[in-house]
Amino acid sequence: MRFVDIIEKKADGEALSKEEIRQMIEGYVAGEIPDYQMSAMAMAILQRGMNDEETTELTLAMMHSGDVVDLSSLPGIKLDKHSTGGVGDTTTLVVAPLVAACGGTVAKMSGRGLGHTGGTLDKLEAIPGTSVEIDMERFFSIVKDNGVAVIGQTANLVPADKKLYALRDVTATVRSIPLIASSIMSKKLASGADAIILDVKTGSGAFMRNTDEAFTLAKTMVQIGKLTGRKVRAIVTDMNQPLGMAVGNSLEVKEAVELLSGGISPTDPLYQVCLLLGKHMLMAGNLAADEEKAEQMLKDAIQDGSGLKKLQRMITLQGGDSSYLCMEKIDQMIHVKHMVDICSERDGFVTSMNAEKIGTAAQMLGAGREKKGDAIDPSVGLVMKVRCGNKVQKGDPLCTMYVNDEKRFAEAKQLFLQAIEITEEEKEKTPMIYGVVTEEDV
């Protein structure tokens, strides 16, 4: 079939066959299908959607466009997690070592931050000496020794996604649910884990601005897991404010260390989401019979310091200086010229935040990238002083900015203040956790 006829079929709202989907991805990666035809196809998919079978075939075709990692030589059920992009989301640095401390195997490949969202690799590299570019043999040996390692994706992991994502980015087709689901799941499946726990964000800082769409994305990805024989569960969580208080690479490492040292309250959103992810990882790995048992195991690993030890040992094995990873020394990792409080301009209640703007403000200070390959400053960023629902008075600090480059400070401050809505009346808070999607039910 000519590709133009396949585009027309999708534009008419028909389901594509496995062969048509294969032909599309193979042809596009090989350069036989030009960008203009693929753009039309991406728009047709955005407009007409795909059913779960098509989305799964698309995921598999993309997965097989490059390296597929075989983790079968590692012991036990290999566990992975993924968050769909957030601000102040430091969950991997907390959950991966905690799960390993509870007996899990976490051989994880992570990504870098782009735009307003952070990335785990940049946070790891903020710890002096730490390498995330590690060959497979060494990666496997670290996981065998320590139960956990976190490295960068291999260069040839899902090349179809790299090409297609760049195209979607400039053709207004990023927000298609089948395209997002296949993009995320192709990389997860190619990374080799047996069980994957997804954290789908909803709210101002997320891809999915509304909760219904977030649940649809979560269900689509759980279905892909079911149809490909992997255990996939998803939690849907709030991104209407930064998840943790810290936004910035070293600052987020500090917050992770603080949580693993028992210094963060169990009512804190970051703590809650970490525990929920960890519980589902332990249950998916057959390491805990139920949620209650899993929760106790994770809390014990915080209490007795075994989670922090796993993180420290992982950093040592990845070439880093783990002596920084304790509350006594962690501030020595953060080098800034100025720490500036940004204060409230009025009395009232913090009723909403725009997490995307807060992430962008941190990026302007140098914590993130505008485009791929930009340098980042690991020390800069901001630490929130308030949460949604808090009462503030004029002059109270809303955050502290950690600044090295004064040039964009005024702009970052302006954007940050725009991101915080303060009203006279108290408004109802959005929940932190909206629900859990499993193969069986929501």
Interface residues with ligand URA (CB under 6 A) are 84-85, 165, 174, 179-180, 183-184, 207
Rounded distance between C-alpha atoms, residue 35 and residue 216, angstroms: 28
Q: How far is the CB of 59 from ligand URA (least distance, A)?
A: 12
Buried b (16+ CB within 10 A) or exposed e, 415-436: bbbebbebeeeeeeebebebbb
Rounded distance between C-alpha atoms, residue 327 and residue 128, angstroms: 16
Which residue in 67, 80, 161, 238 is the catalytic one?
161
Q: In what order do the strands lie in the sheet with 391-392?
A: 391-392, 348-353, 420-423
- Nearer residue to ligand URA within complex by CB, 222 or 342: 222
Cα-based distances in Å from 355 to 26, 58, 204, 400, 433:
37, 31, 6, 16, 16
What does 184 bind: ligand URA, Ca ion, none (CB cut-off 5 to 8 Å by kind)?
ligand URA
- Nearer residue to Ca ion within complex by CB, 216 or 404: 216
- Nearer residue to ligand URA within complex by CB, 102 or 218: 218
Q: If phi over 0 gives left and psi between -120 and 50 gives alpha, with beta otherwise, what is residue 435? A: left
Which residue in 183, 186, 352, 379 is the catalytic one?
183
183 counts as catalytic: yes
Which residue in 112, 187, 188, 230 is the catalytic one?
187
Q: How far is the CB of 184 from ligand URA (least distance, A)?
A: 5
176 counts as catalytic: no
Q: How far is the CB of 399 from Ca ion (least distance, A)?
A: 42
64 counts as catalytic: no
**What binding mask, one character per residue, do residues 199-218 give for Ca ion by CB under 5 A, x or -?**
--------------------
What does 183 bind: Ca ion, ligand URA, none (CB cut-off 5 to 8 Å by kind)?
ligand URA
Options 49-57, 62-70, 241-249, 341-349: segment touching Ca ion (CB under 5 A): 49-57
Q: How far is the CB of 218 from Ca ion (least distance, A)?
A: 13
Which SS3 state, helix, strand or coil, does residue 409 take?
A: helix
Q: How many CB atoms lie within 10 A of CB 128?
A: 15
Q: How far is the CB of 61 from ligand URA (least distance, A)?
A: 15
Options 46-54, 282-290, 363-371, 421-429: segment touching Ca ion (CB under 5 A): 46-54
Q: What are phi and psi of 357, to 5 degrees?
A: -65, -35
168 counts as catalytic: yes
Nearest to 336 by CA among 382, 371, 374: 382
Q: How far is the CB of 220 from Ca ion (least distance, A)?
A: 8
Which residue in 81, 112, 168, 413 is the catalytic one?
168
Q: Which residue is nearest to ligand URA (CB)?
A: 183
Which sign does the torsion angle of CA 278, 279, 285, 286 carry? positive
What does 354 bind: Ca ion, ligand URA, none (CB cut-off 5 to 8 Å by kind)?
none
Give alpha helix (H) positions in 64-110.
Answer: 91-101
Candidate list 52, 53, 194, 300; residue touching Ca ion; CB under 5 A: 52
Q: Which amino acid is it at 316?
A: T
Rounded distance between C-alpha atoms, residue 190 and residue 8, angstroms: 30
- Residues of the shown chain interacting with Ca ion in the complex, contacts defined by CB under 5 A: 52
Query: Mind telling me the catalytic residues?
Result: 82, 161, 168, 183, 187
